[in-house]
């Protein structure tokens, strides 16, 4: 059973955009569902036995607060701890290498080929050789080797290609000698130009349902079998969130590089991934997925990259996404359910979920933002009051439609900031109909 791990298009978290699409890793069919909630089959089964009553969870709300933030006497408000992502059987790549593969001309021949060849080649080398990859994934045993010589193919890129055909393409190029021979540490990253539509076996479509993916494949080269790791990054027109095509490509490439380096055999031996059904996995449970929509400029470079989950940072009160923000002087502003368990209610009912707020330094109250990510229905989340402060509380209101049926669910994210330069981390909450 193929299990792709897809990097989604950036979740804008601002207004609406055609590019706001979410897909669960390995979701069975048509992995897309937009924020109005459609499929969401794989989301939020939740391990909890659920209280059955509507979410009055004044209860335990496991806390973590080590007082950080040096101003005397200040302590972050009590909040549930960040999750930690478990290792699997496959070891991380300890000397990661990357070969960037591009095409000189696009399928239609109208876009002047692929205008980002120079940039993605330089970006690939930068991620490995300037310490970026190890700064993000070193704690998982990832090491960085050198970037391999990029490969530019003279042939036109295909107008459409399936993942199975990507694997055949890689195998053919390995046998023709156009690609370097496999190595346990080597990732093949194919950048397709506009005009190439990439599809996965589960029906997911590039630039509609995902902005990139990584996977592993068995290939035969010169009569010998190899397991190779690869990633695919399409060129998405108008990616949304105020991003350029190139920025979206950089976000997707950095996302997939980290995930392939920490989960090099997603099909055979998944590693550093939260299980299906975990509410944090609603948009994929790998390290970069958990920091989805959290991207950052690399200072001193033109690059934008995706941040990734850090189990080490997750022990603290601040952002769990690495690397640390460029402006550490800015406090982290958090909001989370007081009790992160799945909540339940009857159809037609509005469920009230207690929220807690915390910050890593004194700060005026900040807005609570909430959004439906995936599900059978849209519970139209709203917070009252609309702001929260350190140690403060608020209520998240979730409406279960009268026509919802028993067992149906939705995943809502609560978060506090949006846009480039802000340092927010969403917290997922599953609401289910009794």
Enclosing H/E stretch for 164: helix 163-175
Q: Which two tokens stand for residue 3?
A: 């299990």
Nearer to Zn ion, 250 or 289 (CB): 289
Closest to Zn ion by CB, 240 vs 284, is 284
State the binding string over 81-100 for Zn ion (x if CB under 5 A, else -). --------------------
Q: Which string of x and - marks every residue 242-261 that binds Zn ion (by CB under 5 A)?
A: -----------------x--
Rounded to the nearest whole angstrom, what is the least distance from the CB of residue 321 to Zn ion in the complex?
A: 13
Tokens 């799945």: give the residue. 342
> Residues 41-80: x/- map of binding to Zn ion (CB under 5 A)?
----------------------------------------
Binding to Zn ion, residues 7-36 (CB under 5 A)? 7
Give the list of residues 6+ apart from residue 176 with CB closer than 8 angstroms, or none: none
Closest approach, Cβ 85 to Zn ion, in A, equals: 12
362 preceded by cis ω (within 30°)? no
Q: Least distance in Å: CB of 283 to Zn ion?
A: 8
DSSP track, 335-371: EEESS-S-EEE-TT-EEEEEEEEEESS----EE-EEE
Instruction: Give the whole-angstrom CA distance, residue 158 versus residue 168.
Output: 13
Residues 288-307 within binding reach of Zn ion (CB under 5 A): 288-289
Query: Could you tell me the smallest distance in angstroms from the CB atom of residue 286 to Zn ion?
Result: 5
Residues 6 or more apart in contact with residue 333 via CB below 8 angstroms: 357, 359, 363, 366, 416, 417, 423, 424
For Zn ion, the closer CB: 255 or 432: 255
Tokens standing for 85?
């992502």
Pick the closer one to Zn ion by CB: 173 or 255. 255
Kindly state the smallest distance separating residue 388's Cβ from Zn ion, in Å.
29
Window 208-247: contact mask with Zn ion (x via CB under 5 A):
----------------------------------------
Alpha carbons 211 and 232: distance in angstroms, whole number: 9
For Zn ion, the closer CB: 79 or 307: 307
Stated as kind and residue range, the H or E segment containing 173 is helix 163-175
> Nearest to residue 235, comparing CAs of 116, 122, 123?
116
Q: How far is the CB of 273 from Zn ion (least distance, A)?
A: 9
Parallel/antiparallel/unpaired status of strands 96-105 and 144-147: parallel
Give me the count of residues in the chain: 434
Stretch of 85-93, 161-169, 285-293, 302-310 contacting Zn ion, by CB under 5 A: 285-293
| Closer to Zn ion by Cβ: residue 288 or 410 | 288
φ, ψ (nearest 5 deg) of residue 423 = -125, 80
In the bound complex, what is the minimum distance in angstroms from residue 212's beta carbon to Zn ion?
8
Enumerate residues 6+ apart whose C-beta is below 8 A from 114: 102, 103, 104, 105, 106, 157, 191, 192, 193, 235
Nearest partner of 275 among 34, 41, 45, judged by Cα = 45
The DSSP output letter for 294 is -
Give the Cα separation of 368 and 382 in Å (integer).
9
Residue 263, interface with Zn ion (CB under 5 A)?
Answer: no
Among 284, 285, 320, 337, which residue sits at the site for Zn ion (rule: CB under 5 A)? 284
Q: In the bound complex, what is the minimum distance in angstroms from residue 340's beta carbon to Zn ion?
A: 22
CB 373 within 8 Å of CB 344: no
Of 211 and 314, nearer to Zn ion (C-beta) is 211
* Region binding Zn ion by CB under 5 A among candidate stretches 66-74, 190-198, 201-209, 278-286: 278-286
Site for Zn ion contains 286 (CB under 5 A): yes
Minimum gap (Å) between residue 433 Cβ and Zn ion: 29
First-to-last CA distance in the chain? 32
Is the Cβ of residue 46 or residue 284 nearer to Zn ion in the bound state? 284
Enumerate binding residues for Zn ion (CB under 5 A). 7, 259, 284, 286, 288-289
């Amino acid at each position: 059973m193929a299990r792709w791990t897809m990097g989604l298009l950036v979740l804008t978290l601002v207004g609406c955009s055609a590019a706001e699409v979410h897909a669960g890793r390995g979701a069975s069919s048509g992995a897309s569902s937009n924020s109005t909630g459609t499929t969401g089959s794989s989301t939020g089964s939740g391990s909890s036995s659920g209280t059955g009553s509507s979410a009055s969870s004044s209860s335990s709300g496991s806390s973590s607060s080590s007082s950080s933030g040096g101003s005397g006497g200040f302590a972050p408000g009590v909040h549930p701890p960040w999750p930690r992502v478990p290792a699997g059987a496959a070891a991380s790549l300890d000397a990661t290498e990357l070969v960037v593969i591009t095409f000189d001309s696009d399928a239609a021949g109208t876009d002047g080929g692929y205008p980002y060849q120079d940039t993605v080649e330089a970006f690939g080398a930068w991620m490995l050789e300037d310490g970026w990859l190890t700064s993000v994934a070193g704690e998982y045993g990832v090491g960085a080797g050198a970037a391999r010589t990029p490969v530019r193919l003279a042939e036109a890129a295909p107008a459409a290609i399936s993942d199975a055909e990507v694997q055949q393409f890689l195998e053919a190029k390995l046998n023709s000698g156009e690609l370097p021979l496999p190595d346990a540490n080597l990732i093949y990253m194919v950048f397709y130009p506009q005009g190439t539509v990439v599809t996965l076996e589960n029906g997911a479509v590039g630039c509609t349902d995902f902005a990139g993916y990584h996977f592993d494949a068995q290939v035969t080269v010169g009569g010998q079998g190899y397991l190779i790791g690869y990633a695919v990054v399409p060129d998405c027109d108008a990616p949304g969130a105020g991003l350029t095509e190139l920025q979206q490509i950089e976000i997707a490439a950095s996302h997939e590089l980290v995930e392939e380096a920490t989960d090099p055999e997603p099909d055979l031996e998944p590693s550093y991934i939260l299980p299906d059904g975990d509410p944090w996995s609603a948009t994929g449970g790998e390290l970069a997925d958990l920091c989805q929509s959290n991207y950052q400029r690399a200072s001193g470079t033109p690059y934008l990259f995706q941040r990734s989950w850090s189990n080490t940072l997750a022990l603290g009160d601040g952002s769990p996404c690495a690397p640390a923000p460029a402006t550490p002087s800015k406090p982290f502003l958090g909001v989370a359910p007081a009790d992160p368990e799945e909540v339940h209610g009857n159809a037609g009912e509005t469920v009230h979920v207690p929220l807690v707020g915390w910050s890593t330094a004194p700060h005026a109250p900040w807005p609570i933002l909430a959004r439906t990510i995936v599900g059978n229905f849209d519970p139209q989340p709203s917070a009252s009051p609309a702001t929260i402060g350190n140690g403060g509380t608020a209520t998240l209101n979730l409406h279960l439609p009268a026509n919802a049926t028993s067992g149906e669910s939705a995943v809502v994210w609560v978060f506090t900031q949006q846009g480039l330069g802000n340092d927010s981390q969403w917290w997922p909450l599953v609401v289910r109909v009794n």
